[in-house]
Amino acid sequence: MIIFNLSIKNPTRCHTTKSFAGLARLFSLLFLLSGCQGVLTPEQVTTKFWKAMVEGNLDSARKYATQETQQLVTKQQNMDDATLKTSAILIDGSNATVSTIITLKDPEINKVLSFNTVLLKENDLWRIDYQRTLNNLLNLPFADFFKSLQGIGETINDKLEQQIPLFEKQMKSFSEELIRQMDEFRHRLEKSLPPEKQQPHSGSI
């Protein structure tokens, strides 16, 4: 007598096990993707930083700067309504540079600034090294207006101080000339008036 021992698997249980395994892999993938999205790339950090600068939102801009250079982030003049573009990105370990192009909309300036935004890894996050980025801006031959804006107050004050003595001298000379002309006019007026008639003496007939 031959006895066959057949082992039949439960198809429902098998399908359920595969479904749980698939869901586990899906959740793991979503977790990894969400973690990657939380760490911004150098290009994303650069875009968010300069967009905040253009909008004058300094608090937001400072969040993307290194702790050491956050206090250097101040409002830049003539950046209202400027447009931003980024191109080449170079990553070297914990350092990165992003080619940045800012087009200013001020009709009196009409400048296109092309420079490198410098970034550093800080606590595993990319942050703007604003000191080195500013140095790149100030060293551009066509970004002299940044320097002039920083020193414009001093320049105006220096020129005013130089002009004040000359102005005072001119005012003094003008006053002296005015007094001289008034004296001359008075003398001419006295000469042009007829002499007063002499009154007869009391003893005359």
Q: Is the pLDDT of residue 143 over 90?
A: no
> In the predicted model, what is the mean pLDDT of residues 156-175?
64
> In the predicted model, what is the mean pLDDT of residues 126-152?
73
Top-ranked range on mean pLDDT: pick from 36-40, 143-147, 154-158: 36-40
pLDDT band at residue 8 under the 50/70/90 scheme = very low
Lowest mean pLDDT among 7-21, 77-91, 134-148: 7-21
What one-character DSSP code corresponds to residue 65? B
Q: Is the pLDDT of residue 72 over 80?
A: yes
What's the rounded Cα separation, in Å, for the pair 81 and 113? Answer: 14
Enter the CATH code of domain 42-142. Answer: 3.10.450.50
Reported as type and span, the H/E element at residue 170 is: helix 144-192
What's the rounded Cα separation, in Å, for the pair 82 and 106? Answer: 8
- Report if pTM > 0.75: no
Q: Is the pLDDT of residue 161 over 90?
A: no
> In the predicted model, what is the mean pLDDT of residues 20-42?
59
Domain segments of the chain as ranges: 42-142, 144-180
Mean pLDDT score of the chain, rounded to an integer?
A: 74
